[in-house]
A and B are shown apart, each in its own frame.
Chain A
Amino acid sequence: MTDYKNLKLIATSSPHIREKTNTTTIMRDVCIALLPALAIAVWNWGVRPLILTVVSVVACVGFEWLYRKAMKKTNTVGDMSAVVTGILLAFVCPVYLPYWMIVVGAFFAIVVAKQLYGGIGKNFVNPALIGRAALLGCYASAMTTWAAPMVKAPLGSTVDAATAATPMAIMKSGDFAALTSTYSLADMFIGRIGGSIGEVSAVMLLLGGAYLVARKVINWHTPAAYILTVAVVTFIFPKGNDPLQWMLYNVLGGGLMLGAIFMATDYATSPVTKKGQLIFGLGCGLLTVMIRYFGSYPEGVCYSILVMNCTTWLIDKYVKPQRFGVSKKEAAK
């Protein structure tokens, strides 16, 4: 029989079993969910967007590693969150962005937005969007020069490369006829349009989103609230004569899908309750439409999410689950 005296027993607090999912598997799932959109970018523009993404990822992981090392903190690059930030940063940048510029963006994303606040889970604004906002401020021209769709981007200098207006820019100009003749709804859906590396293909982003919801990485609440809000508001207040078409161009165009599915759902910078996530999504949607309608930029997803990031603590403070055993009426007293 077993000699029980020889067992090396540990005694820890319950529970004694754990789910397979951990931070790394979650981040890996997000990377997987972003791959279809990256594939469309390669189909659209060739290898350049892929290289830009790799540079961004390497820069983000590198900055995270260096910062943690320099500050003598436990190294967290293994959790893969910096990889996600790297991909997302590249996804919100134009194809022709010089490679070195994205390294600057990576610095703002990882060091300024994330690590200065304590690293993973402690940042209050989305790192990739801060990276983009910083780049837009520093290099406005490079950040608003868009590659024409279905043109192989040169790997080196892009001075003579073919450019095009994005759907959002055409919509901002108010020339709706030009919009429908330049880009069909099918183009918008598949991604044969001008725009940031990862934002163009609504269908691929939705595919990634479905994967994340199925894997329980994200709740559907934030993206649904965000996209529906944009849809409803643009449908009610259309520019032009066809509200449905106007609404569809608004929903499929710009960074809405990428922002709603992958940015607004960022754990650290969005509310933790489902109700809070609905409010967050609603706020993002309203702000996006307002910037698109009244702002000086053609697109408002980035700033909408950054602004709503700053309200997360407020939403979390006031939107709490109903305490067990206490009715709403009793709680109100």
Chain B
Amino acid sequence: MAHAFFGGVHPNDMKAATKDKAIEQLAAPAQVVIPMSMHIGAPSKPIVAVGDKVKVGQMIGEPGGFVSVPVHASVSGTVVAVEPRPFSMGGYMTAVVIENDFQNTLSEDVKPAADPEGLTPEQLCEIVKNAGIVGMGGATFPTHVKISSGFGKIDTVIINAAECEPYITGDHRTMLERPEEVVGGAKLLAKMFGLDKVHLGIEDNKMNAVEVLKKVIEETKAPVVLDVFHTRYPQGAEKQLCQAVTGRQVPPGALPSAIGCAVFNLNTVCAIYRAVYQGMPVVNKVVTVSGSGVIEPKNIECPIGTPISKLFDACGGLKEETYKLIMGGPMMGLAQYSTEVSVGKGTGAMLAFAEDEERTSETSSCIRCGKCVGVCPMHLEPLYMFKYGEKNLLDAAEAANVLDCIECGACTYNCPARLHLVHMFRTTKQKINDAKRAAKAKADAEAAAAAAKKEA
């Protein structure tokens, strides 16, 4: 491998707890709560009402715009509520609540493509769109938008199998247990973008998965190149993965398509495969349930909308001392207040902490050790960004490129003074963007007023 990204950290990967545990199917929950926004973009609009009977794979929410996706029923049964429910991203979100009839009746719409090999890229993209596929690594950007906006611009497609967050092993298990889905999905991506090969980026802590994939790739003569990287966080960050595979850097404020790259999470690739060959939209998700608070950590496949409490139940419950629940990995995941929130399309892990993972201690003063500069994969100087953020010097913070921060958490993980760096950058970015919006609104209003004056 000729390329690498700069910086990064090596947290204890904590994957041993679940990496050898086969994916278990969750006993169907009695009720699922399916939020209408499990993607970036406009929320979907519910198209079912209380009392409606729904089947697995049936559309229950239609896209709310171009950058949006449909939502499908993940169990068969009766709609018992369409109302705001606690939401994993904070606050409440309209959700369709389905009472499971345990019949698992498939919707008539779920049927494989008649001639999968004969589909055009546009037809494939349409299938992806109708299947409600989003970036399932956690970013949840609608996949059809990424594909259609990339037509003709992309020369490198990268499947992200780095799974660089500690604890999470769902992708690892998927590659071991369902390599044909991974490789089949990769073939579809190659076809969509008219490329003779796609890259799959993986860390070297998953060499058994590399072997399994290699075998399937050879047997099926699939156009997949395996790029094995040293295990280092954030190897799986989109920009860093592009850099590692191609040596190119995504310009500030731009997307990977600006340098001819498109990155798809491994789960997304499998979802594309299932959508085309089984006609199945996104209704299930593999979730790693782990952490010191979980009695028996596992990898569980569950219907979308499963309340997270059911996941923990399936793992023997939580320890009493559990003090934190995290949806996602420990580096970028979101802490949850409530066990009522449910699994969404981007939920890769549910962690419970009961021990001293946080090493919570009071923050002290920056000692200028420069470790944050040495680990920042975006080549930033977090200590200065923090100083400016702290003093509310927004111009200085922007000049220090705080908007380039990808919030990977490497600096904060490493900070010996225990400063809440990423948190400061989030709020600083928010303030800068708010100020920009306000300035633009003011300018627009003044322009409109001037125009009105002229006319009068």
A-side residues, CB < 8 A to B, are 1-2, 4, 6-23, 25-26, 76, 79, 81, 118-122, 216, 219, 267-268, 271-274, 320-326
Q: Which of B254, B326, B370 has the most CB of A within 10 A?
A: B370
**Chain B residue with the shortest CB-CB distance to A2:** B317
Tell me if A324 and B404 are in contact (CB < 8 A).
Answer: yes
Tell me if B373 and A23 are in contact (CB < 8 A).
Answer: no
Binds A, one of B181-189, B411-419, B442-450: B411-419
Q: List, in ascending order, chain B residues with CB within 8 A of A14's CB.
A: 326, 330-335, 407, 409, 422
B48: CB under 8 A from chain A?
no
Bound CA–CA A219/B375 (angstroms): 13
**Chain A residue with the shortest CB-CB distance to B409:** A15
Q: List, in ascending order, chain A residues with CB within 8 A of B414's CB.
A: 19, 21
Q: List, in ascending order, chain A residues with CB within 8 A of B332's CB.
A: 14-15
CB distance from A309 to the nearest CB of B (A): 12
Bound CA–CA A222/B367 (angstroms): 17
Bound CA–CA A26/B378 (angstroms): 25
Binds A, one of B24-32, B58-66, B210-218, B351-359: B351-359
Instruction: Indicate which residue in B322, B358, B423 contacts A18 across the interface (CB closer than 8 Å).
Output: B358
CB distance from A130 to the nearest CB of B (A): 17
B151: CB under 8 A from chain A?
no
B296: CB under 8 A from chain A?
no
Q: A21-B414, A219-B370, A320-B381 are in contact. List 11 more A-B contacts (CB 8 A).
A: A4-B312, A7-B318, A7-B320, A13-B420, A21-B416, A23-B416, A272-B370, A273-B373, A324-B239, A324-B250, A325-B251
Tell me if B11 and A17 are in contact (CB < 8 A).
Answer: yes
Instruction: Indicate which residue in B6, B365, B412 contacts A15 across the interface (CB closer than 8 Å).
Output: B412
Bound CA–CA A41/B418 (angstroms): 36
Instruction: Indicate which residue in B249, B358, B369, B417 contacts A17 across the interface (CB closer than 8 Å).
Output: B358
Bound CA–CA A8/B339 (angstroms): 12
Q: List, in ascending order, chain B residues with CB within 8 A of A15's CB.
A: 330-332, 409, 412-413, 422
Q: List, in ascending order, chain A residues with CB within 8 A of B376's CB.
A: 321
Contact with A along B373-398 (1 / 0, CB 8 A): 11011111101000000000000000
B121: CB under 8 A from chain A?
no
Tell me if A23 and B417 are in contact (CB < 8 A).
Answer: yes
B3: CB under 8 A from chain A?
no
Please count how many residues in chain B sit with their CB below 8 Å of the partner chain's CB atoms.
Answer: 68
B9: CB under 8 A from chain A?
yes
Tell me if B324 and A9 are in contact (CB < 8 A).
Answer: yes
Bound CA–CA A25/B410 (angstroms): 19
**Chain B residue with the shortest CB-CB distance to A22:** B416
B78: CB under 8 A from chain A?
no
Q: List, in ascending order, chain B residues with CB within 8 A of A272's CB.
A: 368-370, 373, 381, 383
B366: CB under 8 A from chain A?
yes
27 contacts between A and B (CB under 8 A): A1-B313, A2-B312, A4-B318, A7-B320, A9-B337, A11-B335, A13-B426, A14-B407, A14-B409, A15-B330, A15-B422, A17-B358, A18-B418, A22-B417, A81-B367, A120-B365, A120-B367, A121-B366, A121-B367, A219-B374, A267-B370, A272-B368, A321-B376, A321-B379, A321-B380, A324-B250, A326-B249
Tell me if A267 and B367 are in contact (CB < 8 A).
Answer: yes
Bound CA–CA A221/B278 (angstroms): 57
B364: CB under 8 A from chain A?
yes
CB distance from B240 to the nearest CB of A (A): 9
Q: List, in ascending order, chain A residues with CB within 8 A of B371's CB.
A: 216
B205: CB under 8 A from chain A?
no
Instruction: Indicate which residue in B312, B401, B413 contacts A19 across the interface (CB closer than 8 Å).
Output: B413
**Chain B residue with the shortest CB-CB distance to A327:** B249
Q: List, in ascending order, chain A residues with CB within 8 A of B309's CB.
A: 4
Tell me if A121 and B365 are in contact (CB < 8 A).
Answer: yes
Bound CA–CA A325/B326 (angstroms): 32
Q: Which of B336, B373, B415 has the most CB of A within 10 A?
A: B373
B252: CB under 8 A from chain A?
yes
Tell me if A323 and B335 are in contact (CB < 8 A).
Answer: no
In chain B, positions 309-363 with a C-beta closer than 8 Å to chain A are 309, 312-313, 317-318, 320, 322-326, 330-337, 339, 351, 353, 357-359, 361
Instruction: Indicate which residue in A11, A18, A119 contacts B365 across the interface (CB closer than 8 Å).
Output: A119
Given contacts A18-B359, A121-B365, contact A325 B252 (CB under 8 A): yes
B166: CB under 8 A from chain A?
yes
Tell me if A26 and B379 are in contact (CB < 8 A).
Answer: no
**Chain A residue with the shortest CB-CB distance to B353:** A16
CB distance from B29 to the nearest CB of A (A): 13
Bound CA–CA A118/B367 (angstroms): 12
Tell me if B322 and A7 are in contact (CB < 8 A).
Answer: yes
Bound CA–CA A216/B422 (angstroms): 22
Q: List, in ascending order, chain A residues with CB within 8 A of B364's CB.
A: 23, 76, 79, 120
Instruction: Indicate which residue in A16, A219, A267, A320 contacts B358 across the interface (CB closer than 8 Å).
Output: A16
Q: List, in ascending order, chain B residues with CB within 8 A of A122's CB.
A: 365
Tell me if A324 and B252 are in contact (CB < 8 A).
Answer: yes
Tell me if A16 and B357 are in contact (CB < 8 A).
Answer: yes
Bound CA–CA A21/B361 (angstroms): 12
Bound CA–CA A11/B86 (angstroms): 15
CB distance from A281 to the nearest CB of B (A): 14
Bound CA–CA A8/B417 (angstroms): 26
**Chain A residue with the shortest CB-CB distance to B404:** A324
**Chain B residue with the shortest CB-CB distance to A330:** B251
Q: List, in ascending order, chain A residues with CB within 8 A of B422's CB.
A: 13-15
Q: Which 8 A-B pairs have the closest CB atoms?
A: A15-B409, A272-B370, A2-B317, A11-B335, A13-B423, A4-B339, A321-B379, A325-B251
Instruction: Indicate which residue in B336, B368, B409, B418 contacts A268 across the interface (CB closer than 8 Å).
Output: B368
Q: Which of A16, A274, A321 has the most CB of B within 10 A?
A: A16
**Chain B residue with the shortest CB-CB distance to A81:** B367
Q: List, in ascending order, chain A residues with CB within 8 A of B367's CB.
A: 23, 26, 81, 120-121, 267-268
Q: List, in ascending order, chain B residues with CB within 8 A of A8's CB.
A: 323
Tell me if A323 and B252 are in contact (CB < 8 A).
Answer: yes
Tell me if A324 and B378 are in contact (CB < 8 A).
Answer: yes
CB distance from A221 to the nearest CB of B (A): 10
Bound CA–CA A119/B367 (angstroms): 10
Q: List, in ascending order, chain A residues with CB within 8 A of B409's CB.
A: 14-15
Instruction: Indicate which residue in B326, B337, B365, B381 contacts A16 across the interface (CB closer than 8 Å).
Output: B326
Given contacts A121-B367, A326-B252, contact A10 B381 (CB under 8 A): no
CB distance from A222 to the nearest CB of B (A): 11
CB distance from B367 to the nearest CB of A (A): 4
Bound CA–CA A23/B366 (angstroms): 9
Bound CA–CA A18/B409 (angstroms): 10
Tell me if A19 and B9 are in contact (CB < 8 A).
Answer: yes
Bound CA–CA A11/B250 (angstroms): 32
**Chain B residue with the shortest CB-CB distance to A16:** B330
In chain B, positions 171-217 with a C-beta closer than 8 Å to chain A are none
Q: List, in ascending order, chain B residues with CB within 8 A of A18's CB.
A: 357-359, 412-413, 415, 418
Tell me if A321 and B381 are in contact (CB < 8 A).
Answer: yes
Q: List, in ascending order, chain B residues with CB within 8 A of A273's CB.
A: 370, 373, 381
Tell me if A325 and B412 are in contact (CB < 8 A).
Answer: no
CB distance from A312 to the nearest CB of B (A): 9
